[in-house]
Structure 1
Amino acid sequence: MLKIQKYAAIDIGSNAVRLLISNVIEEEGKPVLFKKNSLVRVPIRLGSDVFLTQKISPENIQRITDTMLAFKLLMKSHKIVKYKACATSAMREAINGQEVVNLVFKNSKIRIDIIEGEEEAAVIAATDLHKYIDNAKTYLYVDVGGGSTEFTVIHKGNTVVSKSFKIGTVRLLNDIVEKKTWDELETWIRYQASLFDKIEVIGSGGNINKIFKISRKAMGKPLTYFYLTSYFNILKSYSYEERITVLDLNEDRADVIIPAMRIYLSSMKWSGAKYIYVPKIGLVDGIIKSIYYDTVSSSTQ
């Protein structure tokens, strides 16, 4: 007997807002399958407001409320059974964040949970990583966002520790990450890496996904530190405008991709990793799985 239900996950990040719709497929005697059905991304950069002014601007408040209403209608069309909407770094730091959450609920009836960095890291770690990792190895999972980056150490298939740092692409673009924060991250990564003989990096986030696509590597094959460094230097040799016109990057990707690569490369350098794996999963994937296993609260349509 085959049972298919649709779940939805909304990620309100610092650089963009995403809606993932997934099919959850249950068949007697077999493991449950989580299959992506649709992914919608809207480039609303809340971090540019919040990290500089501590508030979400009226323009972006309107864009968020409009987007959430559109997501509500999409979920209705897809006949979503359960959903969860999570807001991360920018919303939790905005002094009017709760006001925006309330306004969204009033207009669309979508409930948004503002989650802390450690909870974000835990939800990300709940993704279907077992499909992509070797349980005999140790990994540093690095999920780069606009406002923060979540790090998780995975040893023999189990999560050892997760930590969130306020180092993200939008913060770096605006030059508001203190050296002290970088030093704390380096110390943390070097210490975690020292506990194991060898460590490799898993990267998630839109920027590393784009780099992996450009590399034309086969799914499951890692990128090398050498390749990432070489491509980083190529990107830096082009202007922002040239990255759009010559390298064919979207305008909201052409600027943040460089600070994102800085985070990935630093993580590899400090952990001693020679390879980075790119399974193309992230917070929305973790939300879907967490809804199904009832490890987080969820809402119905």
Structure 2
Amino acid sequence: MILAAIDIGSNATRLLIMQVMEQVGHDPSFTKLNLIRIPLRLGFDVSKNGAISPQKKVHIIETMKAYKFLLDVYEVDHLKACATASLRNASNQEEILTEILKETQIDLKIISGEQEADFIFQNHIAEKLNKSDSYIYIDVGGGSTEICIFSKNKLRGKGSFNIGTIGLLENKVKKSDWNLMKEFVKKKTLHYENILAIGSGGNINKVSSLSGKKDNKPLYLGELEDYFNELSKLTVDERIKSFRLSPDRADVIVPALDIYIKVMQWAGAVKIFVPKIGLADGLIRALYDEVKKSTSTETLK
């Protein structure tokens, strides 16, 4: 079975295509066939004008046409396509969704921040780690930050906050937003000691790559602070040259680090694991569960 997920984010769009292999008596295996990322940066339009500009509208339609071509080439069996903060907050969202459906037959759905946190939870990351530990999952995007808290293999809290890298760059994040996230993190982690962080998002993935850490080796809070201090002193062009960052990464990596550092400090976490998964992976898992449920229902009929 071949499944695909489309994630239309504030900084970039992603198409993830995976093959799912099933064996009786074993958990299904998920193998990545392709991941295509396009830095559309829709969030900057919405932050400045409250809507997607005509130029960006053309770009998103063309991107979705390209994705549709790849879906056909890979003979994808099932697709789940979602958009997050950028389209969620765009005044012309309906116009864009209608155009995408008309041009590509892709039924793109806008999800809430809470739904985004739910899909991220579908990755079951904490279940693969030490079940006696407590974890705080931090997903930082261009338009929002999603947080899930696990302890003893159970979800203890989840929240979505209007704090994203693009909003910080545009000085659109309110102090009240920071306070809301701080209060949530402190309250939900109050009774857990030695909590560990799990980070997802393109920026923490890049920091992990820059660090040279091998798989399953965590980054330390002090290392994030060092990268934040070093990168903050450089211009965007200097970050591109010194750290070989893409232009669409070089500007957002500093505000992203700011978010990860603050959340870790509030939670009392000193280590962060970076499994390099994200919303698209969670969408695939959710889609698989939906397909299996539908198949089971059909069988019962």
TM-score by structure 2 length? 0.95
Letter in 1 for 2:200: S
Aligned pairs (5 A) from 1:252-263:
252-263=248-259
**Match in the other structure for 2:205:** 209
**Match in the other structure for 2:189:** 193
2:170 paired residue among 174, 192, 217: 174
Q: Does 2:94 correspond to 1:60?
A: no
C-alpha separation in 2, matches of 1:247 and 1:127: 30
Offset of residue 251 of structure 1: 0.3
Deviations 1:83-141 (A, max 9, x none): 01000001011110111011000001111000000000000010141564211111110
C-alpha separation in 2, matches of 1:38 and 1:156: 34
C-alpha separation in 2, matches of 1:86 and 1:117: 12
C-alpha separation in 2, matches of 1:295 and 1:166: 32
Q: How many residues align?
A: 294
1:95 paired residue among 91, 95, 98: 91
Q: Does the 8 Å contact 1:7/1:82 carry over to 2? A: yes
Offset of residue 255 of structure 1: 0.2
Q: Does 2:39 correspond to 1:43?
A: yes
C-alpha separation in 2, matches of 1:108 and 1:297: 27
**Match in the other structure for 1:282:** 278
**Match in the other structure for 2:299:** none
C-alpha separation in 2, matches of 1:45 and 1:8: 22
Moved more, 54-63 or 28-37: 28-37
TM-score by structure 1 length? 0.95
Q: Does the 8 Å contact 1:149/1:166 carry over to 2? A: yes
Q: CA 1:69/1:128 → structure 2, altered by over 3 Å: closer, same or farther?
A: same
Deviations 1:48-96 (A, max 9, x none): 0112211100011000000001000001000100001000001011110
SS at match of 1:84: strand
Give the gaps of 5 or more residues in structure 1.
none
Offset of residue 197 of structure 1: 2.5
**Match in the other structure for 1:109:** 105
Q: Does 2:247 correspond to 1:268?
A: no
C-alpha separation in 2, matches of 1:295 and 1:183: 40
Q: Does 2:146 correspond to 1:150?
A: yes
Letter in 2 for 1:215: S
C-alpha separation in 1, matches of 2:142 and 2:293: 25
CA RMSD of aligned residues (A): 1.5
Letter in 2 for 1:245: K
Q: CA 1:17/1:92 → structure 2, altered by over 3 Å: closer, same or farther?
A: same
Letter in 1 for 2:106: I
- Which runs of 4 or more aligned residues in structure 1 lie more than 6 Å from their structure 2 counterparts after TM superposition? 295-298
Aligned pairs (5 A) from 1:200-239:
200-239=196-235
Q: Does the 8 Å contact 2:127/2:153 carry over to 1? A: no
Give the gaps of 5 or more residues in structure 2.
295-301
Q: Does 2:1 correspond to 1:12?
A: no
Offset of residue 195 of structure 1: 2.4
**Match in the other structure for 1:75:** 71
Offset of residue 27 of structure 1: 1.3
Q: Does the 8 Å contact 2:11/2:141 carry over to 1? A: yes
